[in-house]
Amino acid sequence: MAPNRKKIVYLSVLVLLTLMVIFTCSHFTFLNAQEKKAEEPSKLLVVWTSGDKDVAIKMVYMYTYNAKKQGWFDRVRFVVWGPSSKLLAEDKELQDYLKKMKNAGVEIQACIACANMYGVTERLRELGIEVKGMGVPLTEMLKTGWTTMTF
């Protein structure tokens, strides 16, 4: 075989092997990323702002409760924000349903600024709700991949 032809065959084999290595590494990197993603717990954040009881009972509470109870998400966090804090503080049926969600493992929090505006901070705490500033925690949840629903 001529020297130039040997070089061409050698370079062709080298390029082919390099491409095979690149493809194999890319494939395993993709699989590792998929595996890692599958290992992370799924997280649902429900932000309830509506002062409408019908919406709360027939959608927001029902979905949030079942998302945890049925295992649709590993972690479920329910945030009471705005007019919903006043409605919750005054409504026994919503309070009872909230206890059921909490017993199922739903994490329940409320915005302290909103609770203070409506004068219901202590009442929400009496219901076992963690009342705190929510701007920074909400921002962090949005940035770290929580599936978010707002009502």
Tell me, what's the pLDDT at 4? 72
Beta strand segments in the chain, E? 43-48, 75-80, 107-111, 130-132, 147-150
In the chain, which stretches have pLDDT less than 50?
A: none
Tell me, what's the pLDDT at 43? 98
Tell me, what's the pLDDT at 52? 97
- Please name every residue paired with 44 in a beta bridge, in sequence order, or none if there are none: 76, 147
Tell me, what's the pLDDT at 40? 83
Site of tokens 């919750």: 88
Tell me, what's the pLDDT at 114? 96
Tell me, what's the pLDDT at 29? 54
Residues in the chain: 151
Kindly state the tokens that stand for 68.
């945890």
Neighbouring CB atoms inside 10 A of 101's CB total 22
Spatial CA neighbour of 149 closest among 75, 9, 46: 46
Tell me, what's the pLDDT at 28? 54
Tell me, what's the pLDDT at 147? 97
Are the C-beta atoms of 106 and 64 separated by less than 8 Å?
yes
CA distance between the termini of the chain: 76
Kindly state the tokens that stand for 87.
């409605």
Tell me, what's the pLDDT at 132? 98
How far apart (Å, rounded) are the C-alpha atoms in residues 149 and 63?
10
